[in-house]
Amino acid sequence: KNEVEQSPQNLTAQEGEFITINCSYSVGISALHWLQQHPGGGIVSLFMLSSGKKKHGRLIATINIQEKHSSLHITASHPRDSAVYICAVPRSGTYKYIFGTGTRLKVLA
């Protein structure tokens, strides 16, 4: 069992829908990182958070350290949001990231 689990693995949505991607982890961490990988392959950092909630545009990330769970929400989804969303956690006290397998999101126009 992977130490970082994401769900769903694949998600297809209609433009405008509210989207939620979940990440659960089993290791002790001090922060969690949400990344976006576009079809071209490059990775973009979306959020790093250690508690509560962060918002950037239509993206909202929340984390519950006690429950070892984080969610990434996309409001008013758009086809350009289509990408793979990856949750990554640095193992507590180290710089080593453990990555989830990613959630492949496709937003249809």
- The residue ranges that bind another protein (CB under 8 A) are 2, 4, 29-31, 33, 35, 40-45, 48, 50, 86, 88, 90-102
The Cα–Cα gap between 103 and 109 comes to 19
Longest dimension (CA), the chain: 43
- Smallest gap, in angstroms, from Cβ of residue 60 to another protein? 18
Which residue's CB is nearer to another protein, number 11 or number 88?
Answer: 88
**CA-to-CA separations, 2 to 26, 44, 68, 76, in angstroms, rounded:** 9, 23, 14, 31
- State the nearest-atom distance from the C-beta of 75 to another protein, in Å: 24
**Minimum CB distance to another protein smaller for 50 or for 75:** 50
- CA-derived radius of gyration, the chain: 13
- C-beta of 27 vs 76, nearer to another protein: 27
Tokens for 54, please give them.
Answer: 């962060």
Least Å from the CB of residue 84 to another protein: 10
